[in-house]
């Protein structure tokens, strides 16, 4: 049975490839999804994007029953969404926070993540490769969590 991983994208990531390509590159979310499916053929990947905080929260809550882990690029919600943080904290599956750009090399307000303390880790600054690293981190985490027989 395939491991199911949810890849969630927050506000403005629907514009990936168009918005600030000097920071985020020219790849679209469809490009990212295609690459991830080729790199992880044995993983059941579900990729979603929403500009609505509540929709992201609903998907996180649903994932607790259907997925083994979540890779989350919350965009700007990373820096102030306590509701998103509470949703992550309320579920019992690992979440990896990812960012395309290095948030610590950008504006001061981007240097703080309210989500990081409730995620198993954070990957930032590797372009769209951050998603691949995020999936690998989830799979590695799940592998280590397997009970010893």
Edge-first strand order for the sheet with 95-99 is: 43-49, 3-9, 69-73, 95-99, 121-124
Query: How, if at all, do strands 121-124 and 95-99 pair?
Result: parallel
With the C-alpha atoms ordered 122, 26, 63, 144, is the resulting torsion angle positive or negative? negative
Considering only CA atoms, give the Rg of the chain: 14
Which uninterrupted H or E stretch holds 130? helix 129-145
Catalytic residues: 24, 99
String of DSSP letters for 73-106:
E-GGGGGT-HHHHHHHHHSSS-EEEEESS-GGGS
């Amino acid at each position: 049975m395939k491991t199911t991983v949810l890849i969630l994208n927050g506000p403005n990531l629907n514009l990936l490839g168009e918005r600030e390509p000097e920071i985020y590159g020219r790849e679209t979310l469809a490009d990212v999804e295609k690459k991830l499916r080729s790199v992880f053929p044995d993983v059941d990947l579900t990729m979603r994007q929403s500009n609505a905080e509540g929709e992201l929260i609903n998907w996180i809550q649903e994932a607790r029953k259907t997925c083994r882990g979540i890779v989350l690029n919350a965009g700007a919600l990373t820096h102030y969404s306590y509701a998103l943080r509470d949703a992550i904290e309320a579920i019992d599956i690992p979440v990896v926070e990812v960012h395309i750009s290095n948030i610590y090399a950008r504006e001061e307000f981007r240097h703080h993540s309210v989500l990081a303390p409730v995620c198993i880790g954070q990957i930032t600054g590797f372009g769209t490769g951050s998603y691949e690293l995020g999936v690998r981190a989830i799979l590695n985490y799940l592998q280590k969590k397997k009970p010893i027989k």
